[in-house]
Amino acid sequence: MSKIIDGLYYSESHEFVKVEGDFGYVGITDYAQHELGNVVYVDMPEVDDEVEAGEDFGAVESVKAASDLVSPVSGTVVEVNEALEDEPGLINKDAFENWIIKVELSDKGELENLMDAAAYKAFIGE
């Protein structure tokens, strides 16, 4: 059974957002990393890049497949998780601790389009 954390926002493409003030930490869910298998590479945007809700911002590659990363929110990338460049498998160890990008949110109203933990749990059938 996948780990799902209350208080986060979830997208249908299996990204999560952890909101702190005007910032959102975006990564893939525990369910997604289980489905992908061993993550071997994470393609991330650059700091100061703009991301749009519903648009691709990178990709995660595993030994089984490559999967596009779809931003659940819009805003400006203020930080990327550089640890993933050297050790992408950190996502497999703890997907929620090892976020991929930190975004300055341009429209917090977009969060209303995402699922809470209970809705995500139902969405993945757990």
DSSP secondary structure of 26-64? EEE-HHHHHHH-SEEEEE---TT-EE-TTSEEEEEEESS
5-56 residue pLDDT tens: 999 999 999 999 999 999 999 999 999 999 999 999 999 999 999 999 999 9
Per CATH, domain 9-116 is 2.40.50.100: yes
Of residues 37, 26, 44, the one with CA closest to residue 84: 44
**pTM assigned to the model:** 0.97
Instruction: Tell me the pLDDT band of 1, cut-offs 50, 70 and 90.
Output: confident
Q: Domain extents for the chain?
A: 9-116
66-107 residue pLDDT tens: 999 999 999 999 999 999 999 999 999 999 999 999 999 999
Instruction: Tell me the pLDDT band of 124, cut-offs 50, 70 and 90.
Output: very high
Tokens of 20: 């702190």
Question: Can you give the pLDDT at residue 106?
Answer: 98
Tokens 């957002």 appear where? 17
